[in-house]
Structure formats: structure tokens, C-alpha cells
A and B are shown apart, each in its own frame.
Chain A
């Protein structure tokens, strides 16, 4: 039996996996860094917090994650033309001893079994709209393209500095990087606009990780983004996690399998809801696996972490993927 790490590589390299890769089993996630402990995140149902970038985040009890608050007084960059005046970029350089607990976390992962994987969120696009508010951000691509380029360059430089520290201390095998680029029906911005503003940023960031020992780039965007797949390949993404059914995944696999792999295929909303049932989970797992096949595909709910909103859904998916593997492998 292949290890989760070997099985993942067989799956994404078009080899001979001995079962479906089961959701996040191949990732040994390292969720913290000295920076992240100084970057407060609200607790579920707890009070709002202001993070290291000055963004106010709220995490109501009944939602899957924190969310920026954008009442006019809470918007960090109030005027894109003066973004430098409003933005204070947080430090990422800390003493070696501060990294020790996170190095210990990475050392607990058996690298023959799993990929030591650093988790990074939000991404460059999300950071822009966290700071500006989403409509202001999207309008600014037209009204203030030069300033948007400057802001994106600034965030990219920060990401590169963070990447240098992560590679120095954790030496990860993989990066799991979040940045939602669309709704379930479309990308937020056109592919051309994406190529102009964000592709160069990610080529630098993912290029840096690849040049410093990172074997796998897993990018999360639980959205439609099929039109960006060629760009994802250019940017160095190995696995697109969160791929929703609206992307026509079987067609993407036929066209791009071997250059990139697709992790998802089960829309969280279709299984992770108040009235969820094991039968529904069984049906969705089998549909996704039958449609997408054994190579270049990892069955997984589109949510961006190994968890579900409603208790038991994630575990039910895991159990069903195992069960179906035994039937079809």
C-alpha cells in the first residue's frame, strides 16, 4: 500500500495510485508562524478583532470563517490614491527561538507519509479587497490602475519576505495558499485583468517557493476559475483545491491533466448543510469520482480546510471516499 504522499504523487503524475487520495490526508498542515500569532483572528462567536494589517474581522457563530467588516469607519485604505498613508505592513522577521514551536510542529510530520504544508491566507487578491472593501477594490482596477499595481507589488513583496522566513525555518514540502478568485459562476475579474494584475505577483511568490525546496503548490479558490487554469499552470500551481462542479472538471482534467490536478468536485453547499445525510454524501462522492476518474483528481469538499461547517460531514466524506476506493481500485 502506498503512503498518502506516494499515492498523491502517483495521482498527480499520471502513475498508478492504489486508491483515491482522500481529501487532505497527504497534507501535514503547519497552521502557525511567529507572524500569524501576532495576526489576531476572531474566535467563532467571539468579539470582532483587528488583525495585523488593521482589518476588522468578524466571525459570527453560524458561519464557516472570519469575514472583514467594511463599514466606512473600518475600511483600512480609505482612498486608493493615498494607499501608502493608510497601510502599515506587518513585520515577518522574528528570532529563531520564536520559530521553535512551529519547527516542532513540522518535525512531528513524517515526511515519508505526508507533505509538511504551510497554510497561508488570505492571498494577494483577498488582501486587496480586505484592505479596500471589495467594490472599491474592483472599481479601482479601472479608476486607479497604477495605484492598484503599487498596492499589489507591496503585498507581493510582503508575501516574498514571509516566504523567505517560512522556507528558512520550516522548510515545507508544500504550500497551501488561499485566494478566492471568483463566485461559483464566474471569476471576479476578467482573465485579461487577472493576467495583468495578479498573475505576475503569483509567478513571483510561487516561483520563490519552488526555487527554495517546495515541491507542491496547492492553491485554494472555491469558485469558478476554469478560465484561469492555463495561468495557474504558468504560476506553478500543482493542485487547485476547491474546484467547484461549475468548472466542468472532467473537461479540465482531459485538457490539463498532467500539468495540474484538481482537488474538490464536491460543492460544500451540496453536502454540508443543515439537513445533510449520509446518503447524499455517498451519492456526491460516487458522482464526483465516476465523473472525474482516478488520475489528476482528488475527491474533496470545496471548503478550504479539513473540516466541515456541520459536524460529521467531513468524516462522512472521508469514510465514503475510502469505501468507494475499495470498490473501484
Chain B
């Protein structure tokens, strides 16, 4: 097993104590830092996401894998020559106004970050204006909007409408998700994509940006 494969395996298994050492060893052996990031971590998290989607692993396993990746990235970062070289774009994500649910939104943040995005987490109970304000940043490629209740679906509609009216709307994609949300609702309110889970959200976001 190559060192990068070892890193990937440790990330998948959530071994936060092992990953930094393995990353250091890989760097000492002359491995390309970008390859360590892409093959050792981002690909590993994509495997984690797939397993999560298929109910082979659960939220705790996903959280510990992300934590392990984060520990590895801390070691890797000084060797990457600036995050702009590796980030594939910025994503802003939040739960709509009136809705305090955060676990689904947090998992999406985590998977999108693990797919190579820079993520700005707007938190919960986020007014439409705050989404629009954050989306005004030219670096933003993805705006993720979450709602977990039928009572907050109107807030999602209002948020997507406000985003659709933004002057820079062509610069970003609007993605929606959450328990009561469906593809039909996403189409009705004018979102670019609906995804049913965090792993799919990450792959769709990536496809929007890198094709």
C-alpha cells in the first residue's frame, strides 16, 4: 500500500491521530502535496460520502473522517502554496430564516469542504438578505439553502427568489435540500439543483464548478 493509500485509508476510518504523521511521512518521501490532498483526502472523503449515502456508515463515522482529514490538511497547508491553488471555489451554505436545524446543513458543509471548496457557513435562521449579501462575493460559486420543516419551505422559496433576483446570479448555482424538499419543489422555486443527501450535494456542487 502506498503512503497516499495509507492516508486515504486512515481518513476513511477517521484516524485523526494517525493522519498527520502519515502526511508528514508522505511529504518526507517527496510526495506531491496536491496529490496527497486530492488522492489521499478528497477522494477518501468521496468514498466516505458514498458509503454514507448507501447507509454503510453513519453520521459519527462521517464526522470522524472529516476530523481526520482536517488534521491532515493542517499539516499539508504550509506545503500547498496558498489555498487559492487548491480550492475549487467558494460555497456559502445556511439554514433558512425561522429554522434552527443544523445537522443536515453541517454535513453538507463538511462534504462540500471535503470536496475541495472553501465553505462559508452562514449558520441557522438565516434571513434571505444575508444569503444575498454573502453571494455577492465574486468567489462564490455555490449557494446552499437548507430547510427542514414544511413551515420553513416558504422561507426557502423567498430566499431562492431573492437570490434569483441578485445582479450576479449568473455567477453562482443555487442548491437546496432538507427533509421536506423535493425535486418538484426545487423546480417550482427556481433552484438549480435539489440533492437528497450530503454526499450527492458535494458531487453535484463539484460537477457545477469543474464540469
Contact = CB atoms under 8 A, between A and B. Distances in A.
A183 B197 CA distance: 11
Given A62-B98, A189-B60, A309 B151 contact: yes
B57 interface: yes
A25 B58 CA distance: 36
Contact of A183 (B104, B153, B180): B104
A62 B151 contact: yes
Q: Chain A CB within 10 Å — which of B67, B98, B149, B154 has the most?
A: B149
B100 A274 contact: no
B1 interface: no
A268 interface: yes
Contacts of B59: 138, 188-189
Contacts of B150: 268-269, 272-274, 309-310
Contacts of B125: 60
Nearest to A224: B55
A193 interface: yes
B58 A67 contact: no
Given A188-B58, A268-B150, A309-B150, A139 B64 contact: yes
Q: How large is the interface on B (under 10, 10 to 19, 20 to 34, 35 or more residues)?
A: 20 to 34
B151 A139 contact: no
A69 interface: yes
Chain A, interface SS category? loop
Contacts of A60: 98, 100, 125
A138 to B, nearest CB: 4
B60 A139 contact: yes
Interface string A124-144: 000000000011001101110
Contacts of B63: 135, 138-139
B12 interface: no
Contacts of B58: 186-190, 193
Given A64-B149, A193-B58, A309-B150, A142 B14 contact: yes
Nearest to A191: B58
Nearest to A137: B60
Contacts of A138: 59-60, 63
B152 interface: yes
A291 B151 CA distance: 28
9 contacts: A61-B98, A62-B98, A63-B98, A67-B101, A69-B100, A139-B60, A183-B104, A190-B60, A273-B150
Please give me the 10 A-B residue pairs with the lowest Cβ-Cβ distance, nearest first. A273-B150, A269-B180, A138-B60, A62-B151, A67-B100, A62-B98, A190-B58, A142-B64, A139-B63, A186-B55
Interface of A: 58, 60-64, 67, 69-70, 134-135, 138-139, 141-143, 183-190, 193, 268-269, 272-274, 309-310
